[in-house]
Amino acid sequence: MKFRGIALAAALVALGATSQAASAGPAAYNWSGIYIGGQLGYGWGTVAGGPTSVYDDPGGDPDATQDPFNYSNSGLIGGLEAGYNWQSGPMVLGVVGDFSGANIHGSYTDPDNAFMAESTISWLSTARVNIGVPLGSMLLYGTGGVAVAAINSSLHDYYDDDVVITNNAYNTKVGWTLGGGIAAPLGKNWFLKTEYLYVDLGTQNFNFSEPDPPGWALITSSNHTTANILRASLDYKF
């Protein structure tokens, strides 16, 4: 009887331990450490054009002004990223930087005034702070920081069917970005992220001149460029 009692007690202890392990679920992932990886995604947004003015005399009043116009931009984006996470209890703090090549392009054609405007985000880089909360083995986070991008803009002016004058402007713009994402581990060292960023690159002002005749001595305009970035990344944590 004594042996049976001991065996029954041992069985109950083992059953209790098994029940506790089952209720605890899988072990939480440790997000602390340095990581590097690559990302690929898609960007879309809006280019808000300011008034376009033309001058016969750069020092005088505009001879004509075109009303503001907007157009959409879109295209692929992809590149590399590196970061560091520090986990303390139910909070994960991190810093991350990335650099991506892009072809986020858009254009606007005005047949009445015989011109076409277009612009392209050719690369984008961000430096951000992440604040996250673990959800089981996954990580939900918000992110924000500085965005830097190269914007190529062109104005194509049509005078006759066979005469086209093209003016180009290249600017590196500094703006800001906010967003969020979710990360999930793929084994001990790898994890996958899906991320959304809103990027505001501010206003790009540019001045053009055209050969005379038949061009204008000065053309002034501006673009305010924003973009939405949705991308996935695969990272290796050291």
pLDDT tens readout for residues 141-192: 999 999 999 999 888 888 766 667 888 888 999 999 999 999 999 988 999 9
- 198-232 pLDDT, tens digit per residue, is 999 999 888 888 776 667 788 888 889 999 999 99
Q: How confident is the model at residue 3 (pLDDT cuts 50, 70, 90)?
A: very low
pLDDT, residue 157, reads 80
Q: Could you report the per-residue pLDDT of 4-50, keeping only the tens digit for each?
A: 443 333 343 333 433 443 344 455 789 999 999 999 999 999 999 88
The pLDDT of residue 119 is 93
pTM for this one?
A: 0.82
Query: pLDDT (tens digit, 9 = 90+) per residue, 51-97?
Result: 888 888 877 888 888 888 899 999 999 999 999 999 998 999 999 99
Residue 27: what pLDDT?
59
**Closest by Cα among 237, 125, 130, 113 to 185:** 237
pLDDT at 116 over 90: no
Residue entry with tokens 């002016």:
157
Instruction: Spell out the long-range contacts of 11-14 with Cβ–Cβ below 8 A and sequence spacing 24 or more.
Output: none
Contacts of 218 (CB under 8 A, 6+ apart): 54, 55, 58, 207, 208, 209
- Contacts of 75 by beta carbon, 8 Å cutoff, 6+ apart: 42, 43, 44, 102, 103, 104, 105, 120, 121
